[in-house]
Structure formats: structure tokens, C-alpha cells
């Protein structure tokens, strides 16, 4: 089954052009969404993913209609691949049912994986360099004397949380962390 997905970013925009292209391609069902591509919570995308079956074909007018980030696009293409679903982007001339289409997505996935690995490596190198210079990282601990004062004030029952925080200079979250 050919299943279309059409999306615009705002309620004011219209889906007509996308719907026409998807119908002309032969889509039997079209999911329509009016939400930013950056939003993780897109109900129509979730509904489409839930109904997909092996052998189906997901069709979009352009890649940016289904995803705004390379990472999300790669995740979707991997999900489609696992499900045995082909993916077609009409405006980008990409179809994962063809050898070139599958190659394109594998190259994209490899680039995204390389990028993730490079970022992780840089982060580890940076942490090692900071440790070598005596920096530990993480949240600085509150002074023991301030924590003790805050605890005594809390246990007395005479002060509000705001008063305790104001007088000791400890944030609410830090106070609660030490109390529990």
C-alpha cells in the first residue's frame, strides 16, 4: 500500500500541493499534519508508523516534510528498513526500493554514525584533558556549614523553604537533595 505523509509547520499553511502530488503518485491513504518538523510529538506521524506493514511504501513530497534533522531521518529510514517498508521522496528523487535509493540512505546513515562517533571521541578527549589539569567536573558541592545550617533551620520548623534558601544561599533542589 502506498501511504502518503504531508506536513506543514503552521495552521495557516495549506497541504493542498502536497496532497495533490501524493494522490497523483497513487497514495491510497494520506496522513496530514500541521506541526513543526522539529517537534517529537507528531500524532499523525505516530499513527502512520503504527499502521505500516511489510511491503508498504511511505511517500513524501520532500525529505524535510517528514523530518527536519538528519538524525531523525536516519532513524526513520532504519525503522522502515526493519519493517520492510520502502520510502519515497518525490522531490528528492529518492526511492529505497531501488539500489541507488538504498545506497543513498546507507551513506547518510554512515555519515551520521561517523558524526556521532567523532563527537563522543572529542567529549572523552576533553574530559581526559580536564582531569589531567585537576578538574573533576560535575556539580560543585555545597559547603558543609551551609548545609548544616539549612538542615537545622528546616528541622526547627520555624522557617519556610524560601527563607532557608535565601539565608543560606542554597537552592531548593540542593536543600531537598541533602534533606533526603
Active site residues: 9
Let me know if 9 is exposed, middle or buried by CB neighbors in 10 A (0-12, 13-18, 19+): middle
Is the alpha carbon torsion for 27, 32, 38, 42 positive or negative?
negative
Q: 53 in helix, strand or coil?
A: coil
Across the chain, which distance is largest between two alpha carbons, in Å?
Answer: 74
Let me know if 35 is exposed, middle or buried by CB neighbors in 10 A (0-12, 13-18, 19+): middle
Amino acid at each position: 500500500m502506498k501511504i502518503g505523509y504531508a506536513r506543514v509547520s503552521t495552521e495557516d499553511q495549506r497541504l493542498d500541493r502536497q496532497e495533490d502530488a501524493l494522490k497523483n503518485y497513487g497514495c491510497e491513504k494520506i496522513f496530514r499534519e500541521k506541526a513543526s518538523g522539529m517537534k517529537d510529538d507528531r500524532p499523525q506521524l505516530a499513527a502512520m508508523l503504527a499502521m505500516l506493514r511489510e511491503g508498504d511504501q511511505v511517500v513524501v513530497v520532500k525529505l524535510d516534510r517528514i523530518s527536519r534533522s538528519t538524525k531523525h531521518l536516519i532513524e526513520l529510514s532504519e525503522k522502515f528498513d526493519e519493517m520492510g517498508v520502502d520510502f519515497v521522496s518525490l522531490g528528492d528523487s529518492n526511492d529505497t526500493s531501488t539500489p541507488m535509493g538504498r545506497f543513498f540512505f546507507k551513506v547518510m546513515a554512515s555519515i551520521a554514525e561517523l558524526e556521532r562517533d567523532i563527537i563522543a571521541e572529542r567529549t572523552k578527549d576533553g574530559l581526559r584533558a580536564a582531569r589531567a589539569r585537576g578538574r573533576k567536573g560535575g556539580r560543585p558541592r555545597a559547603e558543609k556549614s551551609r548545609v548544616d545550617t539549612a538542615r537545622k533551620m528546616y528541622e526547627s520548623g520555624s522557617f519556610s523553604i524560601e527563607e532557608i534558601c535565601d539565608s543560606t544561599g542554597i537552592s531548593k533542589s540542593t536543600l531537598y537533595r541533602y534533606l533526603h
